[in-house]
Amino acid sequence: MDCAAIRAPLLVMAVGNLLREDDGFGLAVLEHLRQVELPETVELFDAGTSIVDLMQVFDRRELLVVLDAVRGGQQPGSLYRFGPEQVQSGALPLDSLHQVGLLETLRLGELVDCRPQRTVVIGCEPERTGLAIGLSDPVRAAVPKAARLVLAELGCAAA
């Protein structure tokens, strides 16, 4: 049973904890995209909170689009687009006790030749990340815009 043989080449992956308000941004974009007719080459995946478990999910994809909350110091609801290589330089001090996050998982994946050809992160500046389900107004308003950005990445016409 080789799952890889039937795997969609384009993966849209939501990362984050829906129990922490705006950290559920990615999942909300995913739900939005579920209403759109997408080509069969696209798979939507809710990765939730277990980043270190994802290697086999993003193995052998042409494109990985990651949706996540991103703190970049801008107004809540601001959207960011960047590649992992753009935040790697100097971003991970070797002497820190950092976490196994997306960037580390992508690197671990390289070790076992298990990686997407290209990765793009679409992030949204959170307003609140307290303990509750539901997005703040500015982040909710950013969801359709983010969905359009994802469709552009996938080469699909905006719905």
Partner 1 sequence: MASQIVIDPLTRVEGHMKVEATVENGVVKEAKSSGMMYRGLENVLIGRDPRDAARIMQRICGVCPTSHGLTAAFALDEVYGVSGAITDNGRILRNLIQGANFVQSHILHFYQLAALDYVDVTAVADYRGSDPDLARVREFIARGHLGPFVPRYEGDYRLSKKENVAAVKHYVQALNMRRIAHEAVAIFGGKMPHNMSIVAGGVTASSDIDKIAAFLWRIERLIDFINGCYLPDVLMVAERYSDYFDIGAGCRQLMSFGVFDLDSDPDLTRRRRWLPQGIVGADLKLRRMDPEKITEEVTSSWFRETGPVHPYDGTTVPERDKAGAYSWIKSPRYAGEVMEVGPLARIAVAYAAGDPEVKRQVDAVLGHFKATPAALFSVLGRHAARAIETKLVAEKLKQWVLQLQPGQPSCTDFNLDVTARGMGLHEAPRGALGHWIRVEDGKVTNYQAVVPTTWNAGPVDAKGQPGPIEQSLIGTRVRDERNPFELVRIVRAYDPCLSCAVHVVTPKGEDLGRFLVGGA
Range 21-80, binding partner 1 (CB under 8 A): 23, 46-56, 59, 68-80
Smallest distance, partner 1 to C-beta of residue 159, A: 17
Distance CA 12, CA 114 (A): 17
Q: Does 144 bind partner 1 (CB under 8 A)?
A: no
Q: Does 5 bind partner 1 (CB under 8 A)?
A: no
The answer to whether the CB of 97 falls within 8 A of the CB of 44 is no
Where is 15: in which H helix or E strand?
A: strand 10-15
Distance CA 43, CA 64 (A): 10
Distance CA 6, CA 43 (A): 11
Select 22 or 42, whichever has its Cβ closest to partner 1: 22
Smallest distance, partner 1 to C-beta of residue 119, A: 12
Smallest distance, partner 1 to C-beta of residue 67, A: 11
Q: Find the binding residues for partner 1 in span 76-115 (CB under 8 A).
A: 76-82, 86-87, 89-104, 107-114
Q: Quick count: other Cβ atoms within 10 Å of Cβ 33?
A: 23
